[in-house]
Amino acid sequence: MIDYKTDADGIATLTWNVADRPMNVLNAASIAAFDAAVRRAVEDPGVKGVIVASSRPEFVAGGDLDLIRGIRNAQESFEASGPVSATLRALERSGKPFVAAINGTALGGGLEICLACHRRIVADDPKIQLGLPEVTLGLLPAAGGTQRLPRMIGIKNALPYLIEGRKVAPAAALAAGIVDEVVPAAQLLQRARSWLLAEGAQAAVKPWDMKGFRFPGGTPQTPGPTQLFFGVGGGLLAKTQGLYPAPEAILACIYDGCQVDIDTGLKIEQRQFARLATSMATKNMIRTLFYAMGEANRLADRPKEVPVRRYKRIAVLGAGMMGAGLAYVAAQAGLDVVLLDVDQAAAEKGKAYGAKLMDAQVAKGRLDPARRETRLARVHPTTDYAQLAGCELVIEAVFEDRAVKAEVTRRAEAAMDADAILASNTSTLPITGLAEISLRPEQFVGLHFFSPVEKMPLLEVIRGARTSEATIAQALDFAKAIRKTPIVVNDCPSFYANRAFAMFPYEAMTMLAEGVNPALIENAGRLAGMPMPPLALIDEVSAELLHKAMKQARADQGARYREQPQDRVLAAMVEKTGRLGRKVGQGFYDYPAQGARRLWPGLAELFPVADQQPTVDEVRERLMYAQSLEAARCVAEGIVSPRDADVGSILGWGFPAVLGGALGQIDTVGAAAFVQACDRLARLHGPRFEVPEALRRMAAEGRRYHAA
């Protein structure tokens, strides 16, 4: 795992090569091997200096989460993370100079190895990423990152890397003081060697091990950092609502650890790491954000017998906001795009949407102007269906109207190649029904993108009743080509994400109709960790859109339609008051030209506030459990798998990752306790809280959706 060699000048090179993993990672075996190599170099009197390098494309990608996922108690945490921290402390106090020759990405523990070295030299490659992203998985850097980085670049400058997980390219890392040199890749090892021979002996002691060391910018006791902690702590609480323990633990490491010597600071870091590694919140985040999302991105469930389809040219029908976003994303991924609309001006406007997005990137220095022109040239606006010839995939993104979609389907199929796929970007209309007009329903699939397409990472791949497995496989290939995270969903009205997510605003409107104070509803939504409180969210989506969906459902179901509690609220907002949402400047909130939005005072007249109010916890429970319950129904009906349900809830509508997703919340609470709570809610508030029989059986048998 660590290749060791010395040269005639007494320079030892320790080269990372974890051959039994896809990338170099820190695990029990590689940590032990690295420790042995470090000690060998330190104890060898013939070794004058040491280069730490990698033979893989990356330097070290970070810690192996399999090691962390198995931690059950604090002692196991210390045993897992303590050895590498001890090795790095021995390395920097060895009296011999160590230089990190960073040839590729160094994240988490990989960067912590570099921070412990006496010099850091990185290859000049903008694709290299350097950072400490552990916070994004509910963890903290446990090999000295919370202690060394603030001592190197100051507390204020270190905070974004530690509590936000910021990752930077070599040039930015050099400017920040995280690395010492950026050199051409071909010169990396030679430059590391020459530094050791010329300057290494004089730099073999870290600044914080020297007498009189002073923190850059001051310690937590000095006025500037003290005020910084007050501001950051308050802002962090507002952002996380206290649900995410990792940022708080990192702040504690910095505040406490930077007031003492580094060895004591490292002990503080180990204890805070143990607190996180044993928490349910961290287990949830690792399971869903790393393992489940990784499986989805790798297309783990893709039918293996179907050959992979390589896309070169696609078409998008409809150049509105959704179609324009689709064209932009596909062009960014290197595909040629036919962007078709009813008139040329509309199609050109759709192309201009992508141009505007790229112009913003050029202005910020994130995109070269020549590359902008190349990407923009891939989009071909037109009104001519004949241009669909040669497209491997055609995505219909027109209005949510069956008649319009049927006409577009007829015209598209008449011009498409025989082996091309036709996809509908509908968000609510069942794919099976839309495919009835198709001459080849086996090649008809749903691709439900989320708005705005260029920002939202999720893609629902919808299987209609006659959609073939080959079409599903090739739709997944397309998702990967445009760098979206796909979940596979079986057909039903609104599919999975919209169906489960709708319970959040629907329950809010139900409570509003019951007389629950709207401010209480909104605050409970914030405290639950949702990205936006529910009534404000409805204003963003538009009550008019939800009202249309309600009317469509009523028309589709006829006598089978059951009046829903939120229907009266939608009718009042749209039909009675015309308060459609933010797009018209008035909805559940008022949107003054100057200043922040505020709840509309007229809500109290339209929906009188009851004298007796529920607690914030009761409101929060209803808002959150309604979503998880609908997700459980979707799983019970075979609409979606438990893994995809959780991935979809986090990426699709921002369900709190700390809970592991909509089903993860049930596992976190415990299925038996969740069922008991829903039974109580059903007695109090009606049948929408009735538990599906599959979940009731699971609770009775003590099972979970995901392995503990």
pLDDT digits (tens, 9 = 90+) for 170-223: 999 999 999 999 999 999 999 999 999 999 999 999 999 999 899 898 888 787
Residues 382 and 271 in one domain: no
Residues 539 and 639 in one domain: yes
For residues 633 and 472, the answer to whether their CB atoms sit within 8 Å is: no
* Structural domain contains residue 144: yes
461-465, 492-496, 556-560 — which one is most confidently predicted on average?
461-465
Residues 84 and 219 in one domain: yes
Instruction: Give 170 or 236, the one with higher predicted confidence.
Output: 170
* Structural domain contains residue 305: no
* CATH number of the structural domain spanning residue 112: 3.90.226.10
Confidence (pLDDT) at 401: 86
Residues 394 and 466 in one domain: yes
Say which residues have a Cβ less than 8 Å from residue 323's Cβ, sequence separation at least 6.
316, 317, 339, 341, 350, 395, 397, 398, 425
Residues 514 and 481 in one domain: no
Residues 617 and 522 in one domain: yes
Confidence (pLDDT) at 35: 97
> Can you tell me the mean pLDDT for 472-499?
96
Confidence (pLDDT) at 220: 82
Given pLDDT bands bounded at 50, 70 and 90, which one contains residue 229?
Answer: confident
293-327: pLDDT as tens digits: 999 999 999 999 999 999 999 999 999 999 999 99
Of the candidate ranges 54-63, 227-236, 409-418, 597-606, the one whose mean pLDDT is the lowest: 227-236
> Can you tell me the mean pLDDT for 642-659?
97
Confidence (pLDDT) at 7: 95
Residues 434 and 570 in one domain: no
In this model, does residue 556 exceed pLDDT 90?
Answer: no
Sign for the CA dihedral angle at 23, 26, 28, 33 comes to positive
Count of Cβ atoms closer than 10 Å to residue 525 Cβ? 25
Nearest CA to 192 out of 299, 329, 99, 277 is that of 99
Residues 508 and 479 in one domain: no
Given pLDDT bands bounded at 50, 70 and 90, which one contains residue 272?
Answer: very high
* Structural domain contains residue 292: no
Residues 530 and 669 in one domain: yes
> Can you tell me the mean pLDDT for 363-392?
95
Residues 159 and 139 in one domain: yes
> Can you tell me the mean pLDDT for 460-489?
98
* Structural domain contains residue 114: yes
Say which residues have a Cβ less than 8 Å from residue 450's Cβ, sequence separation at least 6.
456, 458, 459, 497, 652
Given pLDDT bands bounded at 50, 70 and 90, which one contains residue 427?
Answer: confident
Per the prediction, the chain carries an average pLDDT of: 95
In this model, does residue 707 exceed pLDDT 90?
Answer: no
> Can you tell me the mean pLDDT for 434-457?
96
Residues 507 and 652 in one domain: yes
Q: What is the DSSP string of 607-624?
A: SPPPSS---HHHHHHHHH
Of the candidate ranges 488-492, 542-546, 587-591, the one whose mean pLDDT is the lowest: 542-546
* Structural domain contains residue 173: yes
Is residue 448 flagged as an active site residue? yes
> Can you tell me the mean pLDDT for 689-699?
97
* Structural domain contains residue 284: no
Confidence (pLDDT) at 465: 97
Given pLDDT bands bounded at 50, 70 and 90, which one contains residue 548?
Answer: confident
In this model, does residue 224 exceed pLDDT 80?
Answer: no
In this model, does residue 225 exceed pLDDT 80?
Answer: no
Given pLDDT bands bounded at 50, 70 and 90, which one contains residue 284?
Answer: very high
For residues 688 and 649, the answer to whether their CB atoms sit within 8 Å is: no
- 322, amino acid identity: M
Parent domain of 508: 499-700
Q: Which of 448, 547, 685, 706 is catalytic?
A: 448
* Structural domain contains residue 295: no
Q: How far apart are CA 110 and CA 124, in angstroms?
A: 18
Given pLDDT bands bounded at 50, 70 and 90, which one contains residue 464?
Answer: very high
Nearest CA to 346 out of 374, 316, 376 is that of 316
Residues 428 and 328 in one domain: yes
